[in-house]
Structure 1
Amino acid sequence: MSRVTLLREVGRPARARHRTSDKISRRRMLCAAIDIGSNTTRVLVAEPEEGQLRKVMEQRAYTRIGKDVTRGGGEISEEKLHEVADVVCTQVRLAQELGAEAIRIVATAAIRKAANGEEVATEIERAAGVPVDVLSDHEEGRLAFIGATKALGHPVEGEIAVVDVGGGSSEVTVGTIAGGVSEVHSFAIGSGVLSEDLITGDPPGPVEIRKLRERIEDFFAGVELEHPDQAVAVGGSATSLRRLVGAVLEYETLERGVRVLTSDPAVEVAKMFELDPRRVEVLAAGVLLLEQFSQMLGQPLQIGKGGLREGVILEMLSDGTTGEAARAA
């Protein structure tokens, strides 16, 4: 598999690109988005309110499905499949109990890359009773861009880069509010994969941090990204870092994050900052990836309040797209 995929929308004027309408349904339609990621499986239930989303419920489970792909020869085990299916079934039931009128389940890098990914998606769909969409890297980036930019809550001029560091892959999606997404850079590197390969200590020591930096620098050698007017970070690593260092990720704050994560065991850091220890275990790799992207983009990263799941729901609510979502039973 190529380490990086660049997808551009070409052959159409900027305003004709596939993008979600700025108009959100005025009817208070409660929607749910479930995201099966490499590190976590998350559900968001939300409805439109004054041009934004009002979040009714959020829940996550650290299923670490990407670990199987890394360690299991590229396949997701039957045991892990049943674990994730149980989590998804519970999240579907919770969304239905809250009155969700439409539910969409999406899967990202782990299932996308797994040798048995199609079988896994089919089995989860059968158990949950809701279709599972295995997103392409372009769709993943596009939906994260929609969720991140809409959640900014204020007009943004110029070009925006949305950085989504996941467990099994990372995407940098570039575009504008008016024109939508112009290109998606997808990189076959993520916090979970790096942590599985290179981190054994708790906390990780200087040698492990050095190896992480070297792996990341080698991976991105020769890769160049254009500098946007603004950069936004979304995903689990970014949102967790908000608790450690604040809402803006730049060299000083990211280095502070590394110091925190290498000073105490994961369980102690988790207690101090009200995080899950399993998230802390992969966070050092996430910090260093975000640092790399900040350097490549020539911009500090503002931690976004929306991302993939918000983008999924916004697309469900936008004119003419709600029919693509599965109706809740």
Structure 2
Amino acid sequence: MKIKTLLLSCLIGASIVSHAVADVQTRQIRFGYGLNENSNQGRATKVFADEVSRLSDGKLRIRAFGGATLGSDIQMQQALLGGAQEMMVGSTATLVGIASEMAIWDTPFLFNSAEEADVILDGPVGQKVMDKLEEKGLIGLVYWENGFRNLTNSRRPVESLEDLDGIRLRVMQNNVFLDSFRNLGANAVPMAFSELFTALETKTVDGQENPFNTILSSKFYEVQEYLTVTNHVYSPWIVLVSKRFWDRLSATERDILLEAAKTARDFEREDTRKEAAMALAELQEKGMKVNELSLEEVERMRSRLVDVNQTIAQGVGQDLWDELQAALTELRSNQ
């Protein structure tokens, strides 16, 4: 009897799986990202592609394009809006022009740790911000981790607030980043990531700010001498789908993409954090001169950014800002 019951359960389960896969059409999905194939972004994209294939019984195929071959984040976002590209992963900071609420993640010194960021991004506040994209023509699935951002430059060590004076610093095409570094005394220059290495090499700009992993995978150590550990911004990536494409998918196909994105997210965060520690050590081995800002200097920088935070609150909406601050306060009180 037990054997018959088990066999019947297996047959029912197989029928459900078969029915689910029957709701999946054979599709090729173009998925773009900015870093190279051997980066944390590239490795997570492969996990995503493999998981999509597994869950769809090979019917959904992710065709990955790394190294910004489909364009910058902004160019890919426009391609998704127009339906010319299906999916991408990129920085939340470059989405501010589409959904102003995304600027909340650019708040300087917002999170005290990566674990704190996980709780907020995967919780109600993170979902509320992501949901703002749908009315603009994009679907957000999950947040991946780019990591805490740190400064590099080719001119001098940045050990104090004054050391930023006059440094031509590439930042993303994002007003919060521009205003923040201008308030700190740098000459902030907006520029697409795909143009950055050449700009550093030719001294068009003196420096840039990115997580350790990106600094290493992009070989910025070849054109930058100094690295300052500031952890000034926690930088998330977001996996996006064109709404035009999303609307053509069955519920099963949507579930497959979302489940695979979550699996890849968990892999990517763990991979990124392990790599960050190794990346910093390797950057030192490759000759970069590393220093860490003192707590006093961090507080001096924070004091210069109060107006920026007020502007962010106004831009994203005071209610959303207050909800985020309340969530952080509750989270920290339970630690």
Larger relative helix fraction: 2
Same fold judged by TM-score > 0.5? no
TM-score w.r.t. length of structure 1:
0.27
TM-score w.r.t. length of structure 2:
0.27
**Larger radius of gyration, structure 1 or 2?**
2
